[in-house]
Chain A
Amino acid sequence: MGRRVVYPSGDAVAQALAERVVALAAGPNAPSWAAPLRDAGPLTTLAVDGPGLAHTLGNGIAAAVILRLPASAPASNCLDELAWRRDDLLVPLVDTRASAILRRGAVRISSDADGSIRIMRGNTR
């Protein structure tokens, strides 16, 4: 049994991200930060309730943890609740914003399937 990409139970966005990390890590063109995750064997996802999430890094179950962090506060405040090691890698996956200002004639944007904003070519609508 390999290690797990752990996400909070009930968080659909975190689940999709965890599954995507698993898919990317298994592929031949895995990002540099994702490839090492599969070193211990096949990577799979695991949904964990909030209180248990804090222990998955420390007890070796989790190869990675998908977390939802507020952009307005230092990440370390939240990470301290985990068995966080200072040399662990922190990778931002999705940056979401509460609002976007759009105007006619501006650059066309699109929301990607993973929620990221993509700037499109062509005329605005």
Chain B
Amino acid sequence: MTFRARLFTAFTATSVLPLALLAYGVRHEMGTRLTNEYEQRVRAAAAEVHGALSSDADAVSAALAVLARDLASDNRFRLALVQQDEGERRWLLDLAGERMRAGGLSLLRIQDSAGRILSSGQFRNEFDQAAPELPRALASGAPAITVAQVRTARGSLLAVARADAFAVTGQRFTLVGGRILDSVSVARAVRGRDLGVMLTTGNDTLLRAAARGARTVVSETAIGFVAESGSLRDARLVMTRSPGTLDAIRRGIDRWTLAALALTLLLAMALAAALAARVSRPLARLAEQTAALDLDRLDQQFATDRDDEIGALSRLLAALTDRLRTGTVRLRDAERRAAFGDVARQVNHDVKNGLAPIRHVVRHLGEVARDEPDRLALVFGERRGTLDSSVDYLETLARNYARLAPNADTSRCDLNAVARQVAANLDPARATVRLELAPALPTVISDPVALRRIVENLAGNAVDSLAGRDGGVTFTTSHADGTASLTVQDTGRGMSREELARAFDDFYTTKSGGTGLGLSVVRRLVADLGGTLRVETEPGTGSCFTVELPAGGTT
């Protein structure tokens, strides 16, 4: 894992984990509070429904009390019932209906002491029917909220019922009244609250007004129930709520929590990426600069005004580079001194080698002049070739050594022009020459003579590597990143790994007539010009030498 990736991971974890914990805590707290609040509202609604039923029962009691007081002093009622006045019979039949509607009731019966129905508001034509069970059940300790099931011509109805009684001329009469309790009225009471109401006797469900999916029981209230048969039973008014509502609230909280967490994660990742890049970018730049360091390329600038650890590291690298520059100068001086010693020894050896034949010829000529003076001319003629070849050798040697001398006179040089000149001087019989020169190639800062020697040496080596076989030499120029480069590629014999390892050593050569100084000179000249030299080679395929020099601008 890279340092940047570690920073990214650390920043992301540092940002996200506390936020995730916070989000979880907020979700948990909100979920708990909302659940409690919702359940409180549901319980309040259930209490409200229960209170509405109690209010209905009280209202029925009040209406019956008023009716009882009125009827007890109503002469017309007395005439119709006590005196059996047939003319008031129709009035009596309609009396319950009229008072029921006037009192806001849904159920009203006027019954005599035997339970005979004298007038029925909800079922006008059930007069004279004996139904003593309902008033008896209501009068015998029924709970404050008692629901009665009574018949009408069109079916049964459930009503919150109460009973009352009054007496007229010594006869006792009973009033049974009630307010309807149906799914519509109950649903109206719990409308918009996502509640369900169920009236059940345990085995039978008498009434159900349930919101969709309302299954969770919120509260149960014991009430009385008088069946159509008149039997008083225990019943329960069950309030239910839908778990879907609470689940929807929780899902909403979860959804928003996840959305907030995802957004936070994205922002944290973006911030972490930016911070990681900000921290790691200077390090990456230092790494790139450090990777570019080479004994031939110690021009990297590590100077910085940062006062943090990265600044300290940059200053350390700058100091290290300075020490490397100093060491490199010393090393090159040492190399030069060593090379100079090598050259001196080689010159000594080579000069001795060149002087030895001359010394032998001179000694021979001296002996001839002393012993056979008349043959001196003849012998001189015979040995003159040896003298000439030795002199030529020494002259060549001197010329080659003269090429080792550096020349520091630099100027802007046209690399393409040099490549063309050198290519033109090559013997076309020995190699097929190709030029692939980049247009608008910037000039290079170089000594023209040194540049010419670099290109001539590379070109000469390339032609020599062909060894008389058919092949080609290609000159290619290009430029990038402030440098201009020249590539000399041949299709010659190439070099083995061992040959390549020694290719730049002084006096190492694989050619019978070579001095072994060509590539050594090229390497030193390129280094003196501040450039680099690369070689790619493969035995049997050829070699490719690339010289990169600092660009000095367009020509």
Contact = CB atoms under 8 A, between A and B. Distances in A.
B153 A44 contact: yes
Interface stretch (B62-70, B123-131, B284-292, B380-388): B123-131
A18 B154 CA distance: 10
Contacts of B90: 113
A26 B93 contact: no
A29 B153 contact: no
Contact of B130 (A19, A27, A44, A110): A27
A26 B151 contact: yes
Contact of B153 (A27, A28, A45, A110): A45
Given A23-B126, A29-B130, A18 B153 contact: yes
A42 interface: yes
A34 interface: no
Contacts of A44: 152-155
Is the contact region of chain A dominated by helix, strand, or loop, or is it mixed? mixed
Contact of A26 (B89, B124, B129): B129
Interface in B81-101: 86, 89-90, 93
A22 B126 CA distance: 8
A124 to B, nearest CB: 15
Contacts of A22: 125, 151, 153
A111 B239 CA distance: 53
Nearest to A23: B126
Interface in A26-55: 26-29, 42, 44-46
B155 A19 contact: no
**Interface residues of B toward A: which range?**
10 to 19
B430 to A, nearest CB: 121
Interface in B114-155: 123-127, 129-130, 151-155
10 contacts: A18-B153, A19-B126, A20-B125, A22-B151, A26-B126, A26-B129, A26-B151, A27-B130, A42-B228, A110-B86
Interface string A3-23: 000000000000010111011
Contacts of B154: 44-46
Contact of A113 (B89, B151, B152, B153): B89
Contacts of B89: 113
A23 B93 contact: no
Contacts of B155: 42, 44
Contacts of A46: 154
A46 B152 CA distance: 12
B125 A19 contact: yes
A22 B153 CA distance: 6
Contacts of B75: none
Contacts of B125: 16, 19-20, 22-23
Contacts of B130: 27-29
A19 B124 CA distance: 8
A28 B125 CA distance: 15
The 8 closest A-B CB pairs, nearest first, are A23-B126, A19-B125, A19-B153, A20-B125, A45-B153, A27-B129, A44-B155, A23-B125
A26 B506 CA distance: 135
B156 interface: yes
B151 A42 contact: yes
A45 B123 CA distance: 11
B385 to A, nearest CB: 146
Interface string A81-108: 0000000000000000000000000000
A24 B151 CA distance: 12
B156 to A, nearest CB: 7
A113 B156 CA distance: 25
A18 to B, nearest CB: 7
A46 B129 CA distance: 21
A44 B86 CA distance: 29
B86 A23 contact: no
A42 B154 CA distance: 10
Of the candidates B125, B127, B129, B156, the one having the most CB atoms from chain A within 10 angstroms of its own CB is: B125
A19 B151 CA distance: 11
B156 A23 contact: no
Contact of B93 (A18, A45, A113): A113
A29 B128 CA distance: 10
A110 B90 CA distance: 12
A18 B153 CA distance: 8
A52 to B, nearest CB: 17
A66 to B, nearest CB: 12
A104 B86 CA distance: 20
Contacts of A110: 86
Nearest to B94: A113
Interface string B180-206: 000000000000000000000000000
Contacts of B93: 113
Contacts of A20: 125
A24 B129 CA distance: 7
Given A26-B129, A42-B156, A44-B153, 8 more contacts: A16-B125, A19-B124, A20-B125, A26-B126, A27-B130, A42-B151, A45-B154, A46-B154
Nearest to B90: A113
A19 to B, nearest CB: 4
Contacts of A23: 123, 125-127, 129, 153
Contacts of A27: 126, 129-130
A23 B124 CA distance: 9
A107 B93 CA distance: 26
Contacts of B156: 42
A13 B56 CA distance: 35
A23 to B, nearest CB: 4
Contacts of A120: 86
